[in-house]
Structure 1
Amino acid sequence: NEENNPRVTAGAKKEMPGKNLTTWSFFFLEGFSKYPKLEIVLFVFSLVMYLVTLLGNSTLILITILDSRLQTPMYFFLGNLSFMDICYTSASIPTLLVNLLSSRKTIVFSGCAVQMYLSLAMGSTECVLLAVMAYDRYVAICSPLRYPILMNRQVCVQLATVSWVTGCLTALLETGFALRMPLCGNLIDHFTCEILAVLKLACASSLLMDMTMLAVSVLLLPIPMLLICISYVFILSTILRISSAEGRNKAFSTCGAHLTVVVLYYGAALSMYLKPSSSGSQQIDKIISLLYGVLTPMLNPIIYSLRNKEVKDAMKKLQDKISSHQTHESI
């Protein structure tokens, strides 16, 4: 009931002339305000995870640019993945950090729109890119002699461009439809302008919106996941035919990091977007979103650096350069 809701303040909404619609100039983000004692703990957790995410992914991008040994398709895609993770976390975590320390947890309409779009765009792009990375590993292991031709620089740029365009356009479609829905309140039961949480405020259901969400979810979740599974069936069958144990271990190590990231990312995404809307509580959804939005981007560079000797060597080389530069300056 808007009249009895103390959070709906004067100036928060504007009636559209000639239409029975309401546009909100700002929204309240419920976040974790039901658990005030946990907010400081969540602030510290989120801040540490965010800083580690920025540091880890920035370092990974830097070494893929500076180290000539990492000028390969796999690391080109990995650099794109790291950049997406930085953008994805930066779209929502700073707002979360501010609101965890603030008593008035608000976000203006334009900020909510940008936050929703960036989160959807980066998340959707990552879904496609992970499938592209699986194809890259398939070609590298199943057709190693043709790999330089099939995955030349032009092809890699085209595949990355398709990933970005697909993610950005589907996000634009979803955000555009979501923001045109008439909303009967401005209290979002989430810590970010997550599209499903915003759509719960809709005054009435929209078949067009529901069909759009379903089509995009199927396009970006089960289909890429199926392509990844098919790629890894061929990869596994090829690896098992390798006679030397060293060769098998090397092949497994190059795929292990990507497969771990895929399981983490798609596991969280599928649990959020392809489950019945009535199942589970909103509090569980928020916890999953926090892990999905902070923990997975933070773990990506760690997983790749721990399981990859080339990345370890490149990081050590970068660290040695920084240390020698600091020593030279001090002298």
Structure 2
Amino acid sequence: MEFSDSKQLQVLQGFLFLLIYLVSLMGNLLIIMLVTVDQCLHTPMYFFLKNLSFVDVCLISVTVPKLILSSLSHRSTTSFPGCVCQVFFVVFFIETEISILTAMSYNHYVAICYLLHYDAIMDRTVCVKMVAASWLFGIVFGFLYSYGTFSLSFCSSEHCHSSCDVPSLLKISCSMMHADIDISVNAGVLYGFLCSVSIGFSYVYILNTVLRMPLSQGRSKIFSTCIPHLIVIQDF
């Protein structure tokens, strides 16, 4: 829904979100550039972080520029094909990000609980396969959500908002049965739940290992690595 009917407030909103978008964009691109250029950062943890930053850039670029453009031009409608693309890419990048966050938790688990075997377990091939699987899961769920949503019949050829999402699209659907999208949503919820359980188990083992460590300095280093990851998961 529009933030306000006032054109002045819409312009203010557009510039505010433009500033936030540029800051987020520059921050993530800086992370990607530093990890790529600095040879010391060519480790599994930073490899996952670089991919996570790239996904963040893609995710915010799907909806925020359209929101900014709508606020500045005072036009909030989105075409039906635009809605199809937006739903696909939003779900695609969200599921990919969840998968990468899960892979990062497993990386922390191996690095802390199996330190001596870390290099053998988390080699580059394994890391690439985990990231590739994350992108694959994203594509699968993006297709499922898009197909489930747009296989329905709609009473209008245009969506009245600058940002398309599945619940609001269902409100303008003429179809009484939503079996396909219900299956897709349940599959997505189940996958998210399994990822959350996997992350939870990883940090239970990590906490158990950390509490048995005699040196407080080692504990503080581990916490400084894991806490930012947990904050991202909680915010997500």
Query: TM-score, normalised on structure 1?
Result: 0.68
Residue 215 (1) aligns with residue 187 (2): yes
Corresponding residue for residue 80 of structure 1? 51
Equivalent residues of 2:92, 2:142 under 8 A apart: yes
| Secondary structure, aligned partner of 1:146 | helix
Alignment of structure 1 residues 1-331 onto 2, 5 Å: 30-33=1-4, 38-186=9-157, 188=159, 190-203=161-174, 204-219=176-191, 221-265=192-236
Gaps of 5+ in 1: 1-29, 266-331
State the 1:202 CA deviation. Answer: 1.2
Identical aligned residues as a percent: 36
Cα deviation for residue 108 of structure 1 reads 2.4
Conservation of the 8 A alpha-carbon contact between 1:31 and 1:189:
no
Structure 1 letter corresponding to 2:187: A
With over 3 angstroms needed to count, the CA separation of the structure-2 counterparts of 1:31 and 1:121, relative to structure 1, is: farther
Look at both structures and tell me which one has the larger radius of gyration over its CA atoms: 1
Cα contact 2:78–2:163 (8 A) shared by 1: no
- Contact 2:113–2:209 (CA<8 Å) still a contact in 1? yes
Write the distance in 1 (CA, Å) between the matches of 2:168 and 2:177: 14
Answer whether contact 1:88 1:123 (CA < 8 A) is retained. Answer: yes
Quote the offset at 1:103 in angstroms. 2.9
- Distance (whole Å) between structure 1 residues aligned to residue 74 and residue 130 of structure 2: 45
Alpha-carbon distance in structure 2 between the residues aligned to 1:37 and 1:177: 39
Distance 1:35 1:260, change over 3 A: farther
Distance 1:200 1:51 in 2: 33
The alpha-carbon deviation at position 35 of structure 1 amounts to 6.5
Q: How many residues align?
A: 235
1:37 deviation in Å?
A: 5.8
Q: In the aligned structure 2, how far is the partner of 1:108 from the partner of 1:102? A: 15
Q: Deviations over 1:207-234 (max 9, x none)?
A: 2321221122221x21111111110000
User: Which secondary structure state, in structure 2, belongs to the residue aligned with residue 182 of structure 1?
Assistant: coil
For structure 2, the 5+ residue unaligned runs are none
Q: Residue 110 of structure 1: CA displacement? A: 2.2
The alignment partner of 2:115 has SS state of coil
Q: Does the 8 A contact of 2:48 with 2:104 survive in 1?
A: yes
Give distance in 2, aligned partners of 1:35 and 1:181: 35
Amino acid at match of 1:121: F
Post-superposition Cα deviations, 1:229-252, rounded to whole Å, max 9, x if no partner, equal 110000011111111111110111
Letter in 2 for 1:256: I
Counterpart CA distance in 1 for 2:154 and 2:74 is 24
